[in-house]
Amino acid sequence: MLIHVGYHKTATTWLQLFYFPNHPELAFIAGHEGLWQHLMSAHSLEFNAQSTQQLFQPLIQQSLHTQQVPILSAERLSGNPHAGGFDNKDMADRLQAVFPQAKILIVIRHQPDAILSNYKQYIRVGGICNLTEYLTPPEDGRIPLFRLDNFAYHHLASYYAKLFGQDKVKVMLYEQFRQQPQAFIKELSQFIGVSSNQSFPTEQQVNTSMSDLGMVLKRQINKWHGNDSLYPITPCCAWLTTRLSKTVEYLDQKHYLDFYQSNLKQQVQNVIGHRFQQSNVQLAEQFQLDLAAYGYDLP
């Protein structure tokens, strides 16, 4: 059994659309919806590992009966990046309690790129903060907000290795998927224990980030739209803001807004500096990763 836990913006959608459901030796038994309902959404004091295990057992047994490896995949298992990944340890504990024999897949991404891509997703789904506000929120302890240390990947990866065993946890790089997709798929298939001679549409892009101008426009519309956990206000002229949002998304998808470029990536870099160097060193050493080859910040 394989559980893919994220991170966000690391080709998760592609894996869920093209690899997990189409490999003949895999059985994609649950994505975000099924896992959210039955495993993730329960309050920590109400979560029951035994009853959750009983819910998934028929699907697991069915896949094993057909000699397929059962697959669970939901990037939310690594925590919500807009909330600092506050419950990612709890999610790991729940998975270990319900599926103790599983293998774990963690896909990471170069931190500046990952942070900027997550910010753009935050705007896409209703956020209203500018980049500086998003990266440096108030630390008053009232509700979970974005945290940079959520991108110090070694913490979560090491914890999964402690729970499931070092040999049961695979950390892979989004950059390898983008640059050498066939090698990525072969390595992943070998870790799962299935054949790697199938062909998949690795050139197919899904859930691409918004353009800089599209993001600027969408953020202003979001201030009037709300109706989302990121900004839970009653919508003002919901029909108008919905129509404007769809117009911006259409223009963005057609690349009509690509002419405007901002310096957002440099802004992210200015905020994070070299804070992830030691985390990257520890991760590379524990999981035998060549992070330097893909531009990760190292001493």
For 220-245, write each residue's pLDDT tens digit: 998 888 767 777 777 777 888 889 98
pLDDT of residue 122: 95
Location of structure tokens 């500086």:
132
Strand partners, 28: 71
Q: Find, among 240, 270, 251, the residue nearest to 213 by Cα.
A: 251
Task: Kindly list the domain boundaries of the chain, sorted by start residue.
Answer: 2-205+274-294, 212-253
Which letter, b or e, does each residue of 242-256 get, where b requires 16 or more Cβ atoms within 10 Å of its Cβ? eebbeebeebbeeee
pLDDT of residue 229: 77
The pLDDT score that the predictor gives to residue 277 is 98
Identify the pLDDT of residue 261: 84
What is residue 134's predicted lDDT score, i.e. its pLDDT?
97
Residues in the chain, overall count = 299
| Beta-carbon-side half-sphere exposure of residue 164 (alpha carbons within 13 Å) | 28
**What's the rounded Cα separation, in Å, for the pair 218 and 241?**
10
Please give the single-letter amino acid code of residue 114.
Answer: A
Q: Report CA 178 to chain centroid distance, whole Å.
A: 16
pTM: 0.94
Q: What is the chain's pLDDT, residue by residue, as a tens digit (299 residues)?
A: 999 999 999 999 999 999 999 999 999 999 999 999 999 999 999 999 999 999 999 999 999 999 999 999 999 999 999 999 999 999 999 999 999 999 999 999 999 999 999 999 999 999 999 999 999 999 998 999 999 999 999 999 999 999 999 999 999 999 999 999 999 999 999 999 999 999 999 988 888 888 999 999 999 998 888 767 777 777 777 888 889 989 998 999 888 899 888 899 999 999 999 999 999 999 999 999 999 999 999 99
CATH class (in words) of the domain with range 2-205+274-294 = alpha beta
- Please tell me the predicted confidence (pLDDT) of residue 236: 76
pLDDT at 140: 92
Using CA atoms, how far apart are residues 201 and 205, in angstroms rounded to an integer? 9
Q: What secondary structure does DSSP assign to the chain, as a single string?
A: -EEE---TTSSHHHIIIIITTT-TTEEEEE-HHHHIIIIISS-TTT--HHHHHHHHHHHHHHHHHTT-EEEEE-GGGG--GGGTTTTHHHHHHHHHHH-TT-EEEEEE--HHHHHHHHHHHHHHTT----HHHHHS---SSSS----GGGG-THHHHHHHHHHH-GGGEEEEEHHHHHH-HHHHHHHHHHHHTS-------TT---SPPPPHHHHHHHHHHHHHH--BTTB--PPSSHHHHHHHHHHHHHHHHTTTTTT----HHHHHHHHHTTTTHHHHHHHHHHHT--GGGGT----
Pairs from 133-138 (Cβ < 8 Å, separation ≥ 24): 135/268, 135/271, 136/271
Give residue 238's pLDDT.
Answer: 81
Q: What is the pLDDT of residue 88?
A: 98
pLDDT of residue 220: 92
Closest CA to 38 of 69, 77, 67, 65: 77
Q: What is the largest CA-CA distance in the chain?
A: 54
